[in-house]
Amino acid sequence: MSSEGADTGGPAAEAEALLRGLIRFNTVNPPGNERAAQEHLAEHLGAAGFECELLGAEPERPNLIARLRGEAEGPTLCYLGHVDTVLADPAEWRHDPWSGDLADGFMWGRGALDMKSQVAAEIAAAASLAREGWRPARGELLIVAVVDEETGGSLGAQWITEEHPEKVRCDLLVNEGGGAVFEYGGRRCYGVCCAEKGVFRFTVTTDGVAGHASMPGMGENALLKMGPILERLAARQPSYTPTEEPRAFLRGLGEDPEDPEGSIARLRAADPRLATMFEPMLGVTFTPTRIRASEKINVIPSRAELKVDCRVPPGLGEDEVRAGIREVLGDEASGAFRIEFTEQVVGNRSPLDSVLMQEISAWVTEHDPGAQVVPVILPGFTDSRHFRLAFPECVAYGFFPHRSQSLLESAPLVHGADERIDVRDLAFATELYRDLARRVLG
């Protein structure tokens, strides 16, 4: 490919210019310092005819709310995104992470995938429509660009949905979390993120008797008792407990939702990378991440603590987690270990069938003939969870379509070095957001 952009003018070029500008604002969080980027976006949308407001818990970290009102009552369609990013080490990159360089057909920089590109595409789509004179025939188009997503959203989506819900109330929402194409069994599939897993993190504790480390047999080493527990966690995960979304996902792949084990085995045989990404959708997962024992190197520990990051699909909860613990680690009643839950947040979801899903599916069919959308569960979570909690009737999906840069190519770059996006996909997504607004709002 040449180093030129996907388009020499129009909304695609506008999205490229917006993305380049956004990348050049260093919004690594912490500290964030998103104000300059937000003011830049507000100016762009305001000039196109949007009503814009900057609203934040901290002066240097405002959230952007931009509204284009319709001619009659109707639904509010919200395009959501965040402008903060994770850190980047320039020494690890081929292009400076805040350069916005265009090379080899890609825009390079931190946030090029997560998720300044989607913000740029959403705003270019909305602003170009407004400048053309388009207004919703019914309802309104809402653009919300928030801060602080990378550290949980306490100053961003969580804050604004809790403190100013009337400003961001919406019926339909498009956010990050899905859209990159992948191929399986002769099918081209675009994942639409319909749900996100919750967290049921817990601590595993083993007990022993303290003693002097110079005499290994004097005490009872609680850390050594963690050995079998770690081996069990390394050997397996809890059995699959597929809920509505992964069952629909397997059907979309042409697999049998009644045979999740066989389906994943076939997926792994076709491409182990796809299995790694999609298997966590099928049930509760355990990942040990931290261990702590003696405070001093010369003391045999009387207690050891293992932190386990546990992710749980929406619709499942503590009962399924405890069943998984018994299955993988054994019965707590045996006295070999103790379990304490340290964080419990249930998963969140939106209906699989909706007007928004129908319009996304129809658009994909028209613009990539033979391709289809499939529902997916995000193993982590996004700002969609705050909107689903604040507005239970809101249908929220993660969808940023990539047709040229596949899921297998883009996923390893998120939060990694050399993050970049194929500019053809930036144009592709911009076209979706333009069309979706017109399809939903008239």
Query: Residue 305's pLDDT is what?
Result: 98
Phi and psi at residue 161, to the nearest 5°: -75, -25
> 222 and 92 in one domain?
no
Is position 271 within any domain?
no
Asked whether residue 330 falls in the same domain as residue 360, the answer is no
**Does any domain span residue 307?**
yes
Range of the domain at 81: 10-181+355-366+375-441
Residue 281 to residue 177: CA distance in whole angstroms? 13
281 contacts: CB under 8 Å, gap ≥ 6:
242, 245, 246, 249, 313, 376, 377, 379
In a domain, 171, yes or no: yes
H and E: helices and strands count for the chain: 14, 19
Assess whether 393 and 331 both reside in one domain: no
**pLDDT tens column, 149-186:** 999 999 999 999 999 999 999 999 999 999 999 999 99
Q: What is the pLDDT of residue 75?
A: 98
CATH assignment at residue 222:
3.30.70.360
pLDDT at 9: 76
Q: Are residues 23 and 171 in the same domain?
A: yes
* Residue 95 shares a structural domain with residue 212: no
Neighbours of 4 (CB within 10 A): 10
Instruction: Identify whether residues 85 and 220 lie together within a single domain.
Output: no
pLDDT < 50 regions, the chain: 1-8
What's residue 412's pLDDT? 96
Query: Is the domain of 88 the same as that of 203?
Result: no
Number of structural domains the chain divides into: 2
Q: Where are the alpha helices (DSSP H) in 31-115?
A: 35-48
Judge whether 203 lies within some domain.
yes
Same domain, 412 and 338: no
- The verdict on pTM exceeding 0.85 is yes
What pLDDT is recorded for position 239?
98
- The answer to whether residues 27 and 120 touch, using CB atoms and an 8 Å cutoff, is no
